[in-house]
Structure 1
């Protein structure tokens, strides 16, 4: 697939999703599915580990959010970074989560993000 993205940001976002799947997946298999659908890149990272509690799922993208009962190391900046990368590319990140099936993160961005990039020499609008 050929696309127009910020290579470093996209790589770091996907690395974060993969490392989280391994870290929180309770040694369950991790799968990655990549597809192009209607001029969009959709990457799904799934682990079959314990589901995210409903009360935690609402705030997992909050900056510096960490659950006290989770022994996995981290600062609470990974998922907010992933969300920022997706949105700055004109896309989104979503989570699908159930005790029976595990957790999937769906990273969805346009194949061509150039219309969403602010040129470096043009100030951002206040609107």
Structure 2
């Protein structure tokens, strides 16, 4: 995700999740479309760390009164998998379990789209 913070473009990796690669058709495009659809013009970024490639690893929240956690919403809708090795928040594993059971997004049929990290290492 790219955000503009104080006039500067910032590449943000969403903490706890791994979305399908854009080349993982159609899941990558669907994931990107969903994130764009749920992201308002103004968001709050909570930086977790800067990774080895200079990207910001963070949590993205909406600023409206009914504040939403966009990282988690991607998992709830089946548009991303939980990166369990890097995520200890049980809300993510619960959300993924529900999305899988409901057959949402990447869980709608079996395949490599469910584990983007495997797809990348092919």
Same fold, judged at TM 0.5 (above) = no
Work out which of the two has the higher radius of gyration on C-alpha atoms and give 1 or 2. Answer: 1
TM-score by length of 2: 0.31
More helix by share: 2
TM-score by length of 1: 0.30
